Amino acid sequence: MRHRVAGRKLSRTSEHRLAMRRNLVASLFEHETISTTVEKAKEVKSFAEKLITLAKKGTLSARRRAIALLGNRDIIEYEDGKAVSKGTVIGKLFSEIGPRYLDRPGGYTRIIRLSLKRLGDNGQLVLLQLVGPEETSKKETKAAAKKRSRKRAKKTVEVEETVEAQEAAETEEVVDAGEEIAESDKKAEQDEK
């Protein structure tokens, strides 16, 4: 019986599953989008999000833990037919991906189902992507809208108060000016007499 045993076997040994999970997540961080099957994407998603949460901390111990969980393979790009190293996966995770999601409480990845099937075994393909910084969750959007409306209401109250204060100050100035004119007229009349 497999009571409370989490995760899928994916018809692989435990070592193969671990290596596959590491490779898929490293490729996800390197390219920011990968194409795989539904089952693999669902299995890898939680692991990728845990690593991004570690990257958000940004501490040395978090970096070491991420290296222990994922490994630290190089990012290789080919320029003019030559392989050029562009850093490491952990370096990109901690310098680019982690800071991108500092304000986001979770849900860093998404699975988009494709209409394509894999040629060899007719497996359902999906895209596993990192969520872009411009996209926010519905809760965040509603909370931000409420916050904005509160700020606007507060600003309008403050503006109304300042307008009232300015009007009161202007009326006081007019009254003061009127009193000064009246006093100067009285002095002029007294001087004439």
The pLDDT averaged over each successive group of 10 residues in the chain (193 residues) is: 92 96 97 96 97 96 97 93 94 96 95 94 96 66 67 67 74 66 72 69
- The pLDDT of residue 57: 95
Measured on CA atoms in the order 124, 16, 13, 51, is the torsion positive or negative?
negative
User: According to the model, what pLDDT value does residue 167 have?
Assistant: 74
pLDDT value for 182: 67
How confident is the prediction for the chain on average, in pLDDT? 86
Report how far residue 132's alpha carbon sits from residue 177's, in angstroms, rounded to the nearest whole number: 62
Q: What is the DSSP letter of 132?
A: P
How far is residue 140's CA from residue 105's CA, in Å, rounded to a whole number?
10
Q: What is the DSSP code (8-state) at residue 162?
A: H
Rounded Cα–Cα distance for residues 193 and 190 (Å) = 5
Angle, CA 108 vertex, CA 103 and CA 114 arms, to 5°: 145
pTM equals 0.68
pLDDT recorded at residue 137: 55
- Residues 92 and 85: their CA atoms lie apart, in Å, by 13
Provide the edge-to-edge strand list for the sheet that holds 109-117.
33-37, 124-130, 109-117
